Amino acid sequence: RYDHAVVEGFTMTGDPVTVHGTGFFARCLQHEYDHVEGRIYADHLTGWRHRRLMRQVARSSWRRAE
């Protein structure tokens, strides 16, 4: 994750707002923005880390409750 993040948007009344964050707060902003875009943690993984996670998901008891 980047150490600095800038998020732009609008308040409930339509006024523009910009939020700057650094360090841990920047990571939080990026994490929440991922949710807005429909992304989750697994979407950022590649290679063996992604394969390992997918194997764990396939073996999990909560997935088999279909």
CA 42 to chain centre: 9
Quick one: CA torsion of 66, 60, 49, 1, rounded to 10 degrees? 80
CA angle 11, 14, 16 (to 5 degrees): 65
User: Does the annotation mark 66 as catalytic?
Assistant: no
Catalytic residue list:
32
